[in-house]
Amino acid sequence: MLADKEARGMGAAETGSEHIFLGLVAVDCFSSVGVTLQKARNAVELVCGTPHKRAATEKMDWGEDAKGVYQAALAESQAMGHSYVRQEHILLGLLSHGSANWKKISKRMRLRSERLREEAILQLGGAQDLEAPKSRVMSAMAGDVKGGSKGVTTQGVDELCRDLCQYAREGKIDPVVGRNKEINHVIQILGRRQKCNPILLGEAGVGKTAIAEGLARVIEQGATPQGSPLPDFLKGKRLMQLDVPLLLAGAKERGELETRVTRILSEVKEAGNIILMIDEIHTLVGSGSVGRGGLGMGGLDIANLFKPALARGELRCIGATTLAEHRAYIEKDKALARRFQPVIVDEPSEVHALSILLGLQASYEQHHRCIYTEEALRAAVVLSERYIADRLLPDKAIDVLDEAGSRSRIDGHLGRKQQQGQCDPEAAAGACEELRQVIEAKDVAATEGHFEEAALLRSRELELKTKLSGPAAEGALLPVVDIAEIEAVVAKWTGIPVEKVTQDEAQKLLKLEVALHANVIGQHNAVSAVTRAMRRAHTGVRDPKRPIASFLFCGPTGVGKTELTKVMADQCFGSRDSIVRLDMSEYMERHTVSKLIGAPPGYAGFGDGGKLTEPVRRRPFSIVLLDEIEKAHPDVFNILLQVLEDGQLTDSQGKTVSFKNTVIVMTSNVGSNAIAKGTGSIGFQLDVDADRKDYKRISNLVKEELKVYFRPEMLNRVDEIVVFEPLNMSDLDKVADILLDETSARLAPRGVSFRLTPALRREVLRHGHDPAYGARPLRRSIALLVEDPLADAILRGRLAEGDAAVLDMEGEGGRVVVRAPGEATSEACEGPISDVVAYPGIVVEATVEV
């Protein structure tokens, strides 16, 4: 042994702890702190004296201090559940039972014992408590270990698991609300003779771990969720949650991980009163695999070590994982999958989620020292469900509530700093504690059927909340979290402007028609039809399982179909970006239909999600715009039938995507031929003076032609077939105002404004009028006759910040001239411009030929 060699080299009579130190230095145990073997020998010589020569063959005896170090190393190994002693164990023994000489050497070399201990434990896998290492070692040496119901050792379980029953006993677990059905199902499976192992399956955030914690509360309370006595097979049980990362940490030697698992299984079997809970149980599959191991390769992994105990009923185990991970890992191992009984944990409804938040209200109020209003709880559920699409209830609603409480607590603290003396922290703490006790007593009284007592406690609860959350002048102690706080948190998370989040549905509907008419010109009938459908949907009349509304927009190009959709998105969904747009000309072939729901297994792109299902799954509160629907393959309509009728669609990975919070908008140019036949015109070029009177006749003609392209079951599922009318000159004049306002807004940062003379305005309308293309040529006309001259003037430096230009037509050639307001024009400029006459006499020579 290296320690004996060092002792012999120093001429010592026996091997001591200082020689063990030199042996550990020789194997690089102290390299992390910069200790070399030569430095260590020098320090030992200074403390213990110079070496004396001894016979090379003389055997070395171990001194009492060296024996103590080795016994402490054995105790360290046992305490960690190891069946071997490594150099790190010996280092831990040296740190706790070294001799006086070792302590002098350590002090001389400025070695930090705590740092060395942490590094040694890290190398061994972190299985020992860093805060109380000495008491653990002494306890293990004395044989004082915690046992189960039969007095057996469960030290390995205690080190690698956390006792959920103890957490419930100490009040560290939040109440579990509305999961009685799942908890009862788990209890029934645990009562089986064999394969008594439930596995909780559900998406992340739905409350799988909370169900296990709820079972721990049931065991501690001694009664089932219905109030009946606890079954005998659960009495006295300990629900222990296995820490899988801690189990795997540091197991680098072959056999270490298997030793830990075998020890845990042996202790659970001998104790007989332990139920093991393994969260993220899929991580066990493939862990610790050797040889040709790994998923699907037949290697030995720790999941295989659990199988015999699970099958024989020697181990009661509760697993938890997501459906996707269960399918990817557990289901592929048939032998493992059949040993577990699935318990599906679905996402709760909004009503159910609200009841969960009401159950957690007291805990979060106590933590944040605030008061939550019931309206705030309801808003947390509704707004998180509406705007936070990539997470599930109740997790996202709880997180919104938690952050709103933290925000309120910080703001309240700043307010108290500004108003010293108005709030007594001790009084707030006392009142908050009393409120917590009153709420707990009220819940107990209601559960036991003492309703009169519960009513009195409810009155006291309201009094305390009034005292804690009233106005400052009345002695308020705690801040109030109301709807505004919840809305601010949701707006910050999603990036949606807070004013869009704060508007309630009634206000949005009242303003909807006005906003649509202001942005969509000349489509009174279309706007009215859309508004009627949206109001009908939001007043509870519609089927809640179907989409909010579905529309089929028909009409010529450039009349406002897409613009109406964008305004609807802005007014109803908070942003113009809340549109899932699909160009159906990309789905003309039969094989392209699969892109909507995702490629099937085995094909390229499987797992990427569908072009329709994935955006809606991530952002369910949006408008789905299917442009030029008549160009799609007929198989697309089969998919849309399910969406329009049932409000849901299943993608290629088996995920069900809900469309109940979407508005389906389909656009089409179908109807051109029917209108041409009915009016004697070409396409949609109708008599612009009579087209309003003919709207009903036009609609009937369009609907007749739609029957040629679409099956009756498709048309019957659409809420409104909206026919858009051609635009006349009066409509184009209003559209021009909107487009010119947009140009003016883009110039506002430069401080430049402009006006058009009536002559130029007439020329813009004339140049941009084409009944076959609607309002789109008008945009090009404004770009040519307005924006180009302004851009040329700005580049030439003739327009500076604060200038107000007047654009005019000049001469027979139709030149556009940019003038200052004081210059003569061919006609008076429309509107007052006296407020923008800042630099008279400036003439900008920017012209364009028309």
Measured between alpha carbons, how far is 594 from 653 in angstroms, rounded to an integer? 12
**Range in 8-17, 376-385, 465-474, 635-644 with the lowest mean pLDDT:** 465-474
Phi/psi for 781 (5° steps) reads: -65, -40
Cross-strand bridge partners of residue 161:
242
The amino acid sitting at 587 is Y
Tokens coding 309 = 């105990």
**Range in 134-148, 452-466, 834-848 with the lowest mean pLDDT:** 834-848
Measured between alpha carbons, how far is 27 from 432 in angstroms, rounded to an integer? 58
- Domain 350-496 shares a fold with domain 503-723: yes
Alpha helices in 557-627 (DSSP H): 561-573, 594-597, 613-618
Q: In what order do the strands lie in the sheet with 804-810?
A: 753-756, 804-810, 815-819, 843-844
Tokens coding 845 = 């020579």
The pLDDT confidence band at residue 43, using thresholds 50, 70 and 90, is: confident
Q: Is the pLDDT of residue 416 over 60?
A: no
- pLDDT at res. 786: 92
Q: What is the mean pLDDT of residues 799-828?
A: 71
Query: Please, what CATH class does the domain formed by 155-344 belong to?
Result: alpha beta
- pLDDT at res. 468: 67
Angular region, 290: left φ>0, alpha ψ -120 to 50, beta rest: beta
* Higher pLDDT among residues 49 and 555, named by residue: 555
Tokens coding 430 = 């006392």
Query: pLDDT of 585-643, one tens digit each?
Result: 999 999 888 999 988 877 777 778 899 999 998 888 889 999 999 999 999 999 999 99
**Helix, strand or coil for residue 770?**
strand
- pLDDT at res. 812: 54
> Which whole-number Å values give the CA distances from 666 to 626, 630, 633, in the listed order?
5, 9, 14
Vertex 162 angle, CA 161 and 168, to 5°: 155
Assigned superfamily of 2-142: Clp, N-terminal domain (1.10.1780.10)
* Higher pLDDT among residues 439 and 548, named by residue: 548
Angular region, 36: left φ>0, alpha ψ -120 to 50, beta rest: beta
In contact, 760 and 808? CB cutoff 8 Å: yes
- pLDDT at res. 210: 94
- pLDDT at res. 97: 76
Q: Is the pLDDT of residue 678 over 60?
A: no
In contact, 685 and 555? CB cutoff 8 Å: no
- pLDDT at res. 285: 85
Q: What percentage of residues in the chain have a pLDDT greater than 70?
A: 81
Q: How many helices (H) and strands (E) does the chain have?
A: 37, 21
Cross-strand bridge partners of residue 163:
240
DSSP, res 646: H
Ranges 104-108, 391-395, 406-410, most confident: 391-395
Alpha helices in 109-144 (DSSP H): 113-124, 133-142
Query: pLDDT of 223-252, one tens digit each?
Result: 888 878 899 999 999 999 999 988 888 777
Query: pLDDT of 777-799, one tens digit each?
Result: 999 999 999 999 999 888 888 88
Phi/psi for 623 (5° steps) reads: -105, 130
- pLDDT at res. 787: 92
Q: Is the pLDDT of residue 420 over 70?
A: no
DSSP, res 609: -
* Higher pLDDT among residues 76 and 831, named by residue: 76
The amino acid sitting at 389 is A
DSSP, res 314: S
Measured between alpha carbons, how far is 645 from 550 in angstroms, rounded to an integer? 10
Measured between alpha carbons, how far is 660 from 350 in angstroms, rounded to an integer? 14
- pLDDT at res. 841: 28
In contact, 737 and 783? CB cutoff 8 Å: no
Q: Is the pLDDT of residue 831 over 70?
A: no
In contact, 201 and 321? CB cutoff 8 Å: yes
- pLDDT at res. 200: 97
**Domain locations in the chain as residue ranges:** 2-142, 155-344, 350-496, 503-723, 729-844
Q: Is the pLDDT of residue 82 over 70?
A: yes
DSSP, res 774: B
Measured between alpha carbons, how far is 550 from 533 in angstroms, rounded to an integer? 8
Average of per-residue pLDDT values in the chain = 80
- pLDDT at res. 843: 34
Ranges 364-368, 508-512, 843-847, most confident: 364-368
Q: What is the mean pLDDT of residues 730-736?
A: 91
* Higher pLDDT among residues 203 and 250, named by residue: 203
Other Cβ atoms less than 10 A from the Cβ of 234: the count is 19
Ranges 250-254, 277-281, 700-704, most confident: 277-281
Q: Which residues of 665-675 are buried (b: 16+ CB within 10 A; e: fewer)?
A: bbbbbbbbebb
Measured between alpha carbons, how far is 492 from 307 in angstroms, rounded to an integer? 48
- pLDDT at res. 135: 40
Q: What is the mean pLDDT of residues 74-98?
A: 79
Tokens coding 767 = 């140049």
- pLDDT at res. 225: 84
Q: Is the dihedral of CA 17, 19, 20, 25 positive or negative?
A: positive
| CATH of the structural domain 503-723, one choice from 3.50.50.60, 3.40.50.1000, 3.40.50.300, 3.40.640.10 | 3.40.50.300
Measured between alpha carbons, how far is 826 from 810 in angstroms, rounded to an integer? 7
Q: Is the pLDDT of residue 146 over 90?
A: no
Q: Which H or E element spans position 89?
A: helix 87-97
CATH of domain 350-496: 3.40.50.300
Q: Is the pLDDT of residue 3 over 70?
A: yes
Query: pLDDT of 167-177, one tens digit each?
Result: 999 888 988 88
Query: Please, what CATH class does the domain formed by 729-844 belong to?
Result: mainly alpha
Other Cβ atoms less than 10 A from the Cβ of 414: the count is 10
The dihedral formed by the CA atoms of 412, 415, 417 and 418, expressed in degrees to the nearest 10: 180
Tokens coding 40 = 């260590």
Query: pLDDT of 154-166, one tens digit each?
Result: 888 998 999 999 9
Alpha helices in 419-471 (DSSP H): 425-447, 451-469
- pLDDT at res. 474: 40
The pLDDT confidence band at residue 52, using thresholds 50, 70 and 90, is: low
